[in-house]
Structure formats: C-alpha cells, structure tokens
Amino acid sequence: MSSNKYFKHEGPWSDASDPLMCSDTGDWRTKRPIVDKDKCIFCGFCAIYCPIQVMEMVEESYFSPNLGFCKGCGICAKECPKNAISMMPEGDFKK
Amino acid sequence: MTDKKKENLTKVMDYLKHKDPFSKGVAFCPGCGLELLLRFIPQVIGNDIVITGTPSCSAPVLLGQNNQSWHTLSYFGTLMTGAAANATGLARYYRKAGIENTVVCFNGDGTAADIGFGNLSGAAERNEPFIYICYDNEGYMNTGIQKSGTTPYGATTTTTPLGSAHKGKNLRRMNLALKMAMHKIPYAATATLSDLDDLAKKLLKAKEAKKRGFAFLHVFTPCTTGWGYAPENTIEVCRRAVKTNYFPLWEAVNGKIRMTKTVKKPKPVSTYTELIKKFAHMSEEDLQILQDDVDYEYCMLGGLSLLEGECQLPVSSED
C-alpha cells in the first residue's frame, strides 16, 4: 500500500504504518461549513457540539473547521447562536 | 478585542482538560451523537481509562480493524451477555495489582437494558468499583435498527414495522436509569448531549463515586440513521427531549433522586416527535399515549425526588 494516490491518510482496510488509523472523512461531505469571521462571537458552541471535534480556534478570534475530516453534518451551523456558519453545497467548490 | 471575545467562550471548554485520544477521521455516520459522546468522555475524565464494551455501533471504532487502532485508549471487547461481569474482573484485577485507573463499561441500550441486564444488576448489587455508561439510542442500531427495551411507544423499527396489524412498537419503554438508581448504588444519573456541562459534571461525579462503588450513567444519544432525522438536528433532538420531559435529567446518590434540570413549562411531546421520522405515522391518540407515559414517568421521578425535600412536585402539562 505504498502508492495510495486517492487518500492522504491510509484507509482502515490497509496495513498502514501510522500508529493510528485515520480515514479521509472529509470526502463524505456534501455540504461545506463556511464561517463568517465578523459574525463569530467566539462562543465555542460549534467546537463543543461538533461530533468530530474539528472546529479549531484561529488566533483566538474565530473558529474554523478542519476540512480534511469534517463530515458536513451541519450541527455547527444549526447550533451557532449568531448564524455565523452557513452550509454551502460541496459542488460549488470543485475546481 | 481578543480578551473581550474570550469572555464569550462557553464554560464547557474548561472541562475539556485532556487530549482527544481518537484519530480525526473515524467510521461513524455524519452527525452521530455517539461520536461526540465517545470523544467527550476521555477529554473530561482523562485518558487513563480502560474501556470494555460489546458489539455495538461503538465497537468497530473502539476495537479497531485488522491490526490497527482508531484511538490510544485501552479497550477490551467482550460479549453482550457478560459485559458487566467482564468489567468486574478488570476492576478487581486493577485493585489487586494496585494500578490506579478507571474501568469504563461502555455499552448500548441493547446490552444494558435487554441482553446484559442480569449481570449489570448483579454488578450493581455487589457494588463493583467501575463506571457503567449506557448510550441510549433506543434500539439495536448497529445490526439494522431492531427494537429494544428502551424503544418508546409508537416508534417504528425493523422488528416493529408500520403495517395493517401494528403501527410501531405497542409497548412502553422501560426506565433503565431509574431501575439502576433503585439498586441504591453510589451514583446513577441521566445525561444528554445538549447539556454538555451537565454531562461533564456527572462524568466527574461518577469518577469520584467509583471509589465508593458502582456508578451508572444513562446518556441519551440520538441516532440520525436509525431514527430518520437530518444530521444537523442531533443536538436539537436532545434539547427537545429535555424540554418536553421525554428525557428528564436527574442524578441519584445512594438512591436519593435529585433533579439536575427542571423545565418550568414543559412542551407537548409532539414538539419532540415532529423532528423524527420513526414517529411520523403517529396519530393524536398515539401521541396522547406517549404523552401520558412521559407525564407518568416524570411525576413518578418528581415524587421520588420530593422525598429528599429539594425539589417541588412537577406539574404535568395538562394542568
């Protein structure tokens, strides 16, 4: 499994040399969360309610998702008290 | 500017003192409540825990696949008929060997309420020093959404389908957490994912109570695939379950019940069921039966908590 050209991380079916298995769950996403930095009041609800815990603090002023693993469930957008996160169709971001 | 923003940061962040032991991309459905619970537990009570569990939705991730692991915790997979007995052995071994850690028996409602209830009850009666966490998704979700003892009245599953003879489950659900509190164990509590500070407090209390004996946590964990609701509604479903008193939050120390969250004006249970497809077929009469069940259980809990003199008898929504 040395030439894995589809995924950055080894899939669970492979004999990976990494100590932990990790799938590219970002590929599952059909909607992408977009954070409005100006609306974000840094309450952290998106970060604590995110099942995958991928919302990362950026410069201690707003939160941003790690799109490599975000499954696009939309809990962050639903729970944001200021509606600072919107879910955009993933197809809009293809090159 | 930065300091002002920091004040807004939710208090739940203070409970997340430890590292997340799971790798980022694990095989749970998008919007899965179980994934949030599994990542939350070791971040609150520490990574020095040994998890033992049974075949369930959590097992593929906790057990690992092939010769690889999804996380850095210790896990011991066992059978559904002997989950609590297995945890008993582990806890006794660590006590004899003088190793300081926490044994967490992590199971679904199928193991806790149905198949493994006998040895769960036995371990509680013997007051074994470990934490038993039941994540309640109201059915056997991993094997294809069959009904379990905690499936509520009217819910459709693959073994209680919608048809001419039956319309969903025609029996009421059991109250597992109350049953466990009646064992007079050092700590029993219910929690859910919408109140994470409450859940974190209860996890820490359970870890503390483990020194005195058995601790039981019943966590309401909705299943987006099995129940049929949009993945973004996971937390909203939990919140409405609490606000309608469908899943009241309480704790019991040595069998003495105290409500940890009381709802002043409980909403009708239809505000909870309207989100979920497994209740979509229910008529007014069916909903009334479910509402009566919810009211009855809540009044019973309120009456039990009143014995402590700390909580007022709750008023049902009909009055």
Tens of pLDDT along chain B (319 residues) come to 456 567 888 899 999 999 999 998 898 999 999 999 999 999 999 999 999 999 999 999 998 876 778 888 888 989 999 999 999 999 999 999 998 889 999 999 999 999 999 999 999 999 999 999 999 999 999 999 999 999 999 999 999 999 998 889 999 999 999 999 999 999 999 999 999 999 999 999 999 999 999 999 999 999 999 999 999 999 999 999 999 999 999 999 998 999 999 999 999 999 999 999 999 999 999 999 999 999 999 999 988 888 765 545 556 665 5
Using CB atoms and an 8 Å cut-off, which of residues 56-75 of chain B contact chain A? 64-72
Q: Is A72 within a domain?
A: yes
Closest chain A C-alpha to B71 CA, distance in angstroms: 6
Determine, yes or no, domain membership for A59. Answer: yes
Is A22 domain-assigned? Answer: no
> Could you report the predicted ipTM of this complex, rounded to two decimals?
0.88
DSSP class of B98: T
A-chain residue closest to B2, CA distance = A61
Using left for φ > 0, alpha for ψ between -120 and 50, and beta otherwise, residue B287 falls in alpha
| B289 Ramachandran zone, left/alpha/beta (phi>0; psi -120 to 50) | alpha
Question: Considering only residues 76 to 95 of chain A, which have any Cβ-Cβ distance to chain B shorter than 8 Å?
Answer: 77-79, 87
Q: Please tell me the distance from the alpha carbon of residue B255 to that of residue B269, in angstroms, as a whole number.
A: 28
CA distance B178 to B190: 9
In this structure, is residue A81 part of a structural domain? yes
> Does domain B29-306 match CATH 3.40.50.970?
yes
State the pTM of this model.
0.90
In a domain, A19, yes or no: no
**Domain region containing A47:** 28-89
Residue of A16, A25, A72 lying closest to B25 (CB–CB): A25
In chain B, where the domains are located: 29-306
Is residue A44 situated within a structural domain?
Answer: yes
CATH code (residue A43)? 3.30.70.20
Number of domains in chain A: 1
Q: How far apart are the first and last CA of chain B?
A: 49
